Structures are given as structure tokens and as C-alpha cells.
Homo-oligomer: A and B are copies of this chain.
Amino acid sequence: MKNLTDIISVLSNLFGQMEEDAKIQFNFSDLTHNQLNYIEHISKLGNPNITELASVLKLSKPTVKVAVDKLIGKDYIFKVQSDEDRRSSHLHLTEKGKLINQMHDYAHKRIAETLGRRLNQDEFNSLVELLNKVLD
């Protein structure tokens, strides 16, 4: 019987493995790890501008600008100039860019399946209820 910390460790590996598998499945072969990371952050942040993104990633604005330009060139994101402040542009995911979210969703589904498989209906319900309580 493992304690919770050890369980988390196993879960963490499982999550990592499933995300890894999903990346292979979705085959974003024209993206480096780093570029995927940029897209994930843009997605998570909503529609950040360059300054926000640079701040979160702890990188300089020129660095982020260059990276963003490459991703625009590859049709993963696009810029929309702000009405509020015409100096600024917000970054949006293209349809192609949004596939990254589908990839994560796919990984999460597979993880949920894997976890559910070993439990009967009552146990499954208990687990979901407890986790809901924990994360509420």
C-alpha cells in the first residue's frame, strides 16, 4: 500500500507518458518542444500580447517576438491589433493551433480511461466524488 506522495509520483509519470503518446499521435512534427510550449502558454493565457507572454515565460520581448513570428509563419497563431491600445496586439490560436488543446483533451481522456478501468461502478463514483471535493 503506497502513501499519497508515492501515488502522486506514479500518477505524474503516467500523465507524462500519456501526454508524450498524444504528441506522437497528433504528430506536430513541424514544431519543436519549445514552440509547442509557446502555443500552450498562449492557449492557457487566453489571448496575451507579446509583453504578457514575455513576462510569463521570463524571456525578453524580442525573443518572444521572433518566436511568435515563426509560429505565425507556420499558421499556428495570428495577431489582432487591440482597439483599446493601438500599440498592442493580442495573440490568437488558428484552427491548426487549437489542435494542441485537442491533443491535451485526448491525453486526459486516455488517462481517465486508464484510471477507471480498474474500478467497479461504485468505486469509480467514489473516486470521482472525492476528487471533485478535493479540487473544488
Question: Which residues of A are at the interface with B, using a C-beta cutoff of 8 A?
Answer: 1-12, 14-15, 19, 33-34, 104-105, 108-109, 111-112, 115-116, 118-119, 123-124, 126-136
Contacts and interface: CB of A to CB of B under 8 A. Distances in A.
Give this chain's copy count.
2
A44 to B, nearest CB: 8
B4 A116 contact: yes
Given A5-B109, A5-B112, A126 B128 contact: no
Contact of A2 (B7, B119, B132): B132
The 5 closest A-B pairs by CB, nearest first: A4-B112, A8-B108, A5-B112, A127-B130, A7-B131
A12 B108 contact: yes
Contacts of A132: 1-2, 7
